[in-house]
Amino acid sequence: MTKSRVVNLDELRAHCQKCSLYRLCMPMGLEQGDLERLDRIIHRRRPVEKGEYLYRLGDPFQSVYALRAGSLKTFTTNHEGHEQIIGFHLPGELLGLDAIAGRVHVTSAKALETVSVCELPFERLEELSLQIPGLQRHLLSLMSEELQHEHCHLAVLARAPVESRLASFLCQLSDRFRARGYSATDFNLSMSRNDIANLLGMAVETISRLFSQFQDQGLLQVERKHVLIRDLPALQALANRCNPDIRGESALNRQEN
C-alpha cells in the first residue's frame, strides 16, 4: 500500500521535463514550451504488473506507450496459438507503432517485470507532430530505427548459426544498457531462457547449452538471470557475422583509388 502510494507520487512527479529518459523517447532540442505541450497530452498509467498485458493482439489502437521503467516483450500469436516473440523492450522505448496502419494492435505486449508507462493518445500526438517539426521527424526516426533493427533480426534468423544468434542478442542488450547509462557488461536478464529461445528461433535447451559453452570459453559468466560479460569483443566478433557492414565491402566494390 505504502509502496503503491509512493509509485503514484512518483508518477505525478514524472513530467517529461524531469524524466531522465526523455532524451530517449522524445526529440532532442525541443523548446520548453513544446515539451510542456507534449507533456500535457500524456497520461501516466498505473503500473502494469509482471505477466499482465499493456495491450493485446486485436485490441483497438488508441495510443502508443513510452516505457518508463521495467521491461516487456511483444509477440504475435498464430492461429495455432503459438507465440512468436518480436522483441524485448527497455525504458525509453516507444511501443505500439506497428498498429498505426490498421488501427488495431498486431502484437501483444506483456510485462516481464513491473512496468510503468506514459500513454500517448495517438490522435493528439499526430496533431502535435504537425505543429512541432522536431516531433514529426522524431516519430519517423523511431520507426525507421525499428525497421533497421528488425532487418538485423531477420538476417540473424535467416542465416546465423546458433552461437552468433545468442552473441548477437547479448551484444544488442549490452548496447542498449550502455545507452541507458547502465553497465554494458553486467546486467540481469528479465526474460526467461524460453523467451530468448523463442526470439532467436531455437530450442531452450540450445540456449542453455550455449550459455554453458560461452562460460567455458571465458566469454561470460552466467548465473540464473545475472550475466557478466568477460570478453565483449569476442562476443561482438561472433555477433558481427550477421550485422550489416555499413562501412564495409569497400575492398570489394568501392575501390576508388
Partner DNA sequence: TCGCTGGTTTGATCCAGATCAAAGATCGGC
Partner DNA sequence: GCCGATCTTTGATCTGGATCAAACCAGCGA
Which residues would be at the binding site for DNA (CB under 7 A)?
Answer: 161-163, 192-194, 201-209, 211-212, 222, 224-225
Output 53 or 59, the one with its CB closest to DNA: 53
Pairing state of beta strands 220-223 and 94-95? unpaired
- Residues from 82 through 101 that contact a second copy (CB under 8 A): 82, 84, 86, 97-101
**Nearest-angstrom CA–CA distance, 96 and 107:** 8
> In whole angstroms, what is the distance from residue 219 CA to residue 236 CA?
10
151 binding a second copy? (CB under 8 A):
yes
Find the binding residues for a second copy in span 63-82 (CB under 8 A).
Answer: 76-82
- Residue 188 in grid coordinates: 540481469
Contact at 8 Å (CB) between 62 and 121?
Answer: yes
Candidates 11-19, 32-40, 111-119, 238-246 — which segment interacts with a second copy by CB under 8 A? 238-246
| Residue (186 or 205) nearer to DNA, CB | 205
**Region from 6-14, 124-132, 170-178, 182-190 binding a second copy, contact rule CB under 8 A:** 124-132
Q: Which three cell numbers stand for residue 105?
A: 494492435
The answer to whether residues 199 and 169 touch, using CB atoms and an 8 Å cutoff, is yes
- Closest by CA to 65, choosing from 37, 33, 98, 36, is 98
- Give the footprint of a second copy on this chain (CB under 8 A): 57-58, 76-82, 84, 86, 97-102, 104, 106-107, 126, 129-130, 133, 136-137, 139-148, 150-155, 157-159, 198-201, 240-249, 252
